[in-house]
């Protein structure tokens, strides 16, 4: 194998480091997105639960007042 100039080794190392950083940051972004989606889903389900409870309370109140 012919000896390459020193700067070629630096370039090759930079390519590998760059590839690693792409994979690393994409995993971090994916994890952050999943956490955000999970949080928003919990908020949405809480709103649905509160609305269901409010409607049940209105139904109970309307049944009591109609009797």
Enclosing domain of residue 49: 28-66
Q: What pLDDT is attached to residue 33?
A: 98
pLDDT above 70 for 67: no
Give domain status of residue 40, yes or no: yes
Q: How many domains does the chain have?
A: 1
Give domain status of residue 13, yes or no: no
**In which band, very low, low, confident or very high, does the pLDDT at 39 lie, cut at 50, 70 and 90?**
very high
Give domain status of residue 55, yes or no: yes
Give domain status of residue 4, yes or no: no
Give domain status of residue 41, yes or no: yes
**Sign, Cα dihedral of 9, 11, 12, 13:** positive
Between the CA atoms of 41, 45, 50 and 54, what dihedral angle is there, to the nearest 10 degrees? 130
Indicate the average pLDDT of the chain.
93
Give domain status of residue 15, yes or no: no
Instruction: Indicate the pTM of the whole model.
Output: 0.64
């Amino acid at each position: 194998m012919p000896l390459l100039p020193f700067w070629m080794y630096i370039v090759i190392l930079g390519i590998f480091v760059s590839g690693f950083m792409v994979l690393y940051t994409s995993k971090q972004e994916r994890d952050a997105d999943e956490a955000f989606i999970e949080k928003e889903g919990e908020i949405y389900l809480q709103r649905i639960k509160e609305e269901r409870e409010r409607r049940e309370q209105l139904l109970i109140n309307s049944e009591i007042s109609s009797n």
